[in-house]
Amino acid sequence: MAQLSDDCFAQDGRLMRVAEARALLERVIVPIGAAEPVPLHGALGRILLEDIVAGHDVPPRDNSAVDGYAIYFDDLNPDAETALPVTGRAAAGHPLERPARRGAAVRIFTGAAMPAGSDQGAPDTVMMQEDCRLDGDTVVVAPGIKRGANRRAAGEDIAAGATVLRAGRRLRPQDLGQAAAAGRREVLVAKPLRVALFSTGDELREPGAALDPGCIYDSNRATIHGLLAGLGCAVDDLGILADRAETIRAALDTAAQDHDLIVTSGGVSVGEEDHVKPAVEALGKLHFWRLAIKPGRPLALGQVGAVPFVGLPGNPVAVMVTFLTMVRPMILRLLGGDAPVPRSFKVRADFAHKKKKDRREWLRVRLSGDGPENWLAHKFPREGAGILSSLVEADGLVELPEDLTRLEPGTMVDFLPFSEVTT
Ligand code: AMP
Ligand code: MG
């Protein structure tokens, strides 16, 4: 279970910029450190918790990059054809079992180890078969090739002893390949974070249930579940909590027994119908971080006993933005992973927009255009933080920096694709 330093989310109530809030999280969140070995096929998307060091050169031996003939470069006439007898064969996995003679060629195939030589050196060059002519058992080679051509050097991919993957990396398919190339069958990764997930609100109903007057279906839990699952969390979906501090308190108390993180949505504005605050305060601590962002009002951070607690806003769009900007890096950090700032890229805005200075704003946009040169971002006409359909139609978020106050159509802006942050 996470060890939080005492009251680590406390701060002085000032408006916090995104960069400041991220730095603060980075400081106060201590990785849980629970690791488990898993076979490579179970390691995709997991956080690596060890450095992977290559025990040998990759490739282990010099080998041929093409199908052709391995020769001694010094046997070649510099400016005329050379005829060499073909005296052996080396295929991938089947090296030539004796040294290759001077003055002869060895038939060789891609990936086959270069033949060993003698005290007169070793074959050092491979002629591509397309550049050779075969005359009985003799191969005729044109002049003009460079010494060492078509030969791959031992260790050219990875040198023995090199660190090929560092702890903290989130494993992608090619990383699994790299670990395998280094000879690893298993790797040490972070245990999935056990997350307890609740919604709060008397108006919420389970999808599919009867919709009583004044009620809505609980959509946040499905969204947040997806966001957590994308990070490899083991999510316990613990349903909807009524707007009663006592109910919430009891549920959180139980959840804290066997989870690493508790996430709720709703009930954390500061109105009289917001019952999360007293519930968490009865069990631990709660702080409202006043983030200088839109959408997303205060983010509630605290602890239930020793378990970190995140209270997300209720509005679906605010949920998504605060999760992506704050909770996602927090989870990566709890897992011991690197949490780099997500990469955005430049697109042209087709809209005008006014914003308040000193806060960061995210707009839901759809892209049109047929390539990087002319992507055009279109903003959704309805900006409300409750308009979930705008997120569904959006390809990502345009991020407007704190300093900006007016955006003119045609300006280049930072676009953060959802694909960068939702897996
Ligand atoms: P609250 O922060 O609890 O006052 O909620 C703010 C708004 O978000 C209200 O309109 C709620 O009905 C709505 N809301 C809260 N939780 C959810 C949820 N789980 N799914 C959909 N909407 C929600
Ligand atoms: Mg509510």
* Predicted pLDDT at 4: 74
pLDDT, the chain, mean = 94
- Helices 276-283 and 245-255 pack at an angle, to 10 degrees, of 50
Lowest mean pLDDT across 9-13, 27-31, 404-408: 9-13
- pLDDT (mean) for 55-62: 95
Report the distance separating Cα 26 and Cα 21, nearest Å.
Answer: 9
**412, part of any domain:** yes
Residue ending a domain, choose from 334, 366, 382 = 334
Residue ending a domain, choose from 334, 363, 378 = 334
Are 259 and 127 in the same domain? no
Rounded percentage of the chain residues whose pLDDT exceeds 90: 86
The answer to whether the CB of 267 is under 6 A from ligand 1 is yes
Atom of ligand 1 nearest to the CA of 269: 2
* Predicted pLDDT at 3: 59
**160, part of any domain:** no
With a CB cutoff of 8 Å and minimum separation 6, the contacts of 46 are: 38, 170, 171, 189, 190, 232
C-alpha 298 – ligand 1 centre gap (Å): 14
* Predicted pLDDT at 14: 82
Report the distance separating Cα 196 and Cα 219, nearest Å.
Answer: 16
The answer to whether the CB of 298 is under 6 A from ligand 1 is no
With a CB cutoff of 8 Å and minimum separation 6, the contacts of 365 are: 349, 377, 378, 379, 380, 394, 395, 396, 397, 398, 415
Q: Evaluate whether 201 touches 273 at the Cβ level (below 8 Å).
A: no
Which of 197, 211, 216 to mutate to test ligand 1, by most ligand atoms within 8 A of the CB atom?
216
**280, part of any domain:** yes
Closest ligand, as measured to the CA of 320: 1
**56, part of any domain:** no
Give yes or no for a cis peptide into 295 (omega within 30° of 0). Answer: yes
Are 330 and 387 in the same domain? no
**317, part of any domain:** yes
Are 324 and 357 in the same domain? no
* Residue 5, Cβ density class (10 Å: 0-12 exposed, 13-18 middle, ≥19 buried): exposed
Report the distance separating Cα 67 and Cα 60, nearest Å.
Answer: 19
How many C-beta neighbours within 10 Å does residue 181 have?
16
- pLDDT (mean) for 193-201: 97
Q: Evaluate whether 225 touches 197 at the Cβ level (below 8 Å).
A: yes
Report the distance separating Cα 69 and Cα 140, nearest Å.
Answer: 10
At CA 227, angle to CA 19 and CA 50, rounded to 5?
75
The answer to whether the CB of 242 is under 6 A from ligand 1 is no
* Higher per-residue pLDDT: 207 or 12: 207
Q: Evaluate whether 47 touches 111 at the Cβ level (below 8 Å).
A: no
Are 254 and 291 in the same domain? yes
CA dihedral 384, 386, 389, 394 (to 10 degrees): 60
Are 70 and 127 in the same domain? yes
Are 314 and 396 in the same domain? no
Are 248 and 315 in the same domain? yes
Closest ligand, as measured to the CA of 265: 1
Q: What tokens appear for 243 in the block?
A: 């707007």
Are 200 and 68 in the same domain? no
- CATH number, residue 263: 3.40.980.10
The answer to whether the CB of 337 is under 6 A from ligand 1 is no
Q: What tokens appear for 107 in the block?
A: 């038939």
**315, part of any domain:** yes
The pLDDT tens digits of the residues spanning 111-125 come to: 999 999 988 889 999
C-alpha 19 – ligand 2 centre gap (Å): 29
C-alpha 152 – ligand 1 centre gap (Å): 61
C-alpha 391 – ligand 2 centre gap (Å): 21
Residue ending a domain, choose from 125, 152, 179 = 152
The answer to whether the CB of 115 is under 6 A from ligand 1 is no
Distance of CA 376 to the CA centre of its chain: 26
Site of tokens 């090296």: 95
Check whether 401 has a pLDDT greater than 60: yes
Lowest mean pLDDT across 104-108, 237-241, 269-273: 269-273
The answer to whether the CB of 313 is under 6 A from ligand 1 is yes
Are 330 and 197 in the same domain? yes
How many C-beta neighbours within 10 Å does residue 264 have?
29
Are 297 and 383 in the same domain? no
Q: What tokens appear for 169 in the block?
A: 């990396």
**127, part of any domain:** yes
* Predicted pLDDT at 290: 87
Protein residues within 5 Å, CB atom, of ion ligand 2: 201, 266-267
End-to-end C-alpha distance for the chain, whole angstroms: 24
Are 199 and 325 in the same domain? yes
Are 367 and 411 in the same domain? yes
**Domain span including residue 105:** 63-152
* Predicted pLDDT at 2: 55
Helix (H/G/I), strand (E/B), else coil: 26: helix
Check whether 379 has a pLDDT greater than 90: yes
- pLDDT (mean) for 375-379: 97
The answer to whether the CB of 269 is under 6 A from ligand 1 is yes
- CATH number, residue 368: 2.40.340.10
* Predicted pLDDT at 327: 96
**Pair type for strands 68-71 and 105-108:** antiparallel
Q: Evaluate whether 236 touches 197 at the Cβ level (below 8 Å).
A: yes
Closest ligand, as measured to the CA of 207: 1
- Which residue's CA is the closest to the ligand 1 atom numbered 11? 314
The answer to whether the CB of 104 is under 6 A from ligand 1 is no
Closest ligand, as measured to the CA of 199: 1
The answer to whether the CB of 236 is under 6 A from ligand 1 is no
The answer to whether the CB of 237 is under 6 A from ligand 1 is no
C-alpha 263 – ligand 1 centre gap (Å): 14
Which among 206, 236, 202 has a CA at the least distance from the CA of 220? 206
**327, part of any domain:** yes
Number of domain units in the chain:
3
